[in-house]
Every structure is written in C-alpha cells, then in structure tokens.
Amino acid sequence: MTDTDHSAPGAPDIAARAAATSLLLVAESTDRLLRTVAALDPEALAGPSALPGWTRGHVLAHIARNADSLVNLLDGARTGTDIPQYATPETRDRDIEAGAPRPLDVQLADVRDSSARFTAAAAELDEKAWTAEVRHRAGFTFEASEIPWKRLMEVEYHHVDLAAGHTPAHWPEEFATAEFRRLAAKLDGAPGLPAVQLVAEDTGERARIGDRDGEPALTAEGPVRALTAWLSGRSAGDGLQVHRGDRLLSDARAALPELPPLG
C-alpha cells in the first residue's frame, strides 16, 4: 500500500472541506476503475500485473480490502476509538491471497461494494471527527482528513498497476501535481541519491531531489504526470528529457538514477 504526507489544516471546517474535495476525486477515480474492471477479459485476472508477484486479481483484492481498512479508520475517527486499519499484517496478506483467484464478476462486485462502504462511512463523519488522529498500519498517526487522499492514491496508483490500459497519462492533473510535490519532498536530501532538478514543462512545477550539496548534475524535464510516474516507480523515465548541463542525453531511462524505496 502506498503512503502519503498529503496534509490538511487542523481547523474542523477546513479539514472537512479538504476531505470533501478529495472524496469527489475518489468518486471519479473509482468510476474509471470500475469501467476498466468491467471491460476486462475474465481470463486476464490471472495474468501478471505491474507489481512483481501479483496478478491482476491480487491488485483488485488489495484495492477492495484497502477500502475496508480505511472504513476502520473512518469509524475510529467517528467514534473516538483506536480501531486498527487491519486486524493483523497476516490477515491483510491472507485476505489478498484468498481474494486474488475469484472470478471477474465477484471481483467487480467486491471493488464496487467496498468502495460504497468507504463512501458511506466517510459521510458519517462530522467536522470535528475529520480532525481526529488515526493510526496507519505502519504505526504512524495522521489526521482523518487525509484518509480520502490515501484512498485516491490507492485507486489511481493501483489502477495503473492493473496493467489494463490505464496509464499515468490518465491521472487527473490535480492528483499528479500533488503527488509530484509530495514525492519530491520525500526524496529531497535522500541519502545516496544524486541531485536531480525536476521541471514540469506543462504546469511550471519545479523541485529538487537527492543530495542537497552543490548544483544538480542532471535536469529531468517533462509533463508532470511523467515526472510523477517516475518518482512513484510507475515508469523508468518514459516521456522525460534528461540534460547534463546543456547536453541532452540520448537515453533518459539510462541516465536517471535509481530511486530509493519510498516505503
């Protein structure tokens, strides 16, 4: 599962508005995902996804169980109790494995119904509840208003991982831009990573990742979606141009450094 530092202010009304904005994006992204799943060949579920060791069935089972795990966090925020995201790490992994081989109609219904449960649980939170602290399965805490964005990340990133025609080029610009900022911030000063200047030619976003000493030797330019795809591990640098000083390098994929795992 992917993580995020996408933050929302702590005032209840502002937190609630931030959550509502993200929930609208989640609804749109979920609709796109469901259309992709409905159009799949039933035999395709057993084929490999873009995630090592996972079939498309594994990805869909994970997306569904993630929705239910976030319902747990939403219920905890609403009731003021510390409800674990997953009962145990073993339960999470076992449920994904058990759900992976199910037929297409069952997978589609599970993704649709679990997404509806997530939407219904979010609708029950009042403004104050959106400022409650909840606990991620990895142990860190965050404000409940961030839960919808976490769900958006799961849907958008794993829609790409499904390897069924949805690519980073299909990401909403708002999502790609916010994730560009988040991922670049996490990699700013990353130990052992050479400095790279990032330039989004379509949105004007700029960031620097890697070593903070000296001027970056490399500049990677391209659409914000392509930059976010590389930063998130969804591409090897497709759609980017890489310069070393004033010289355009012929193979961007070979020129870009290997990024550390983001956790």
Say what angle helices 173-187 and 147-161 make with each other, to 10 degrees.
Answer: 100
Q: What confidence category does residue 7 fall into, taking pLDDT thresholds of 50, 70 and 90?
A: very low
Q: What is the pTM of this model?
A: 0.93
List CB contacts of 82: < 8 A, sequence separation 6 or more.
76, 135
Half-sphere exposure of 178 (CA within 13 A, CB side): 18
Are the C-beta atoms of 257 and 194 separated by less than 8 Å?
yes
Tokens 């560009």 identify what position?
A: 180
pLDDT tens digit sequence for 189-220:
999 999 999 999 999 999 999 999 989 999 99
Residue 261: its pLDDT value, please?
Answer: 84
Are the C-beta atoms of 61 and 55 separated by less than 8 Å?
no
Nearest CA to 13 among 21, 4, 5, 1?
A: 21
Beta bridge partners of 210: 188
Q: Is the pLDDT of residue 5 over 60?
A: no
| Alpha carbons 117 and 106: distance in angstroms, whole number | 16
Q: What confidence category does residue 8 fall into, taking pLDDT thresholds of 50, 70 and 90?
A: very low
**The pair of three-digit structure tokens given for residue 136, joined into one six-digit string:** 């991620």
pLDDT tens digit sequence for 72-96:
999 999 999 999 999 999 999 999 9
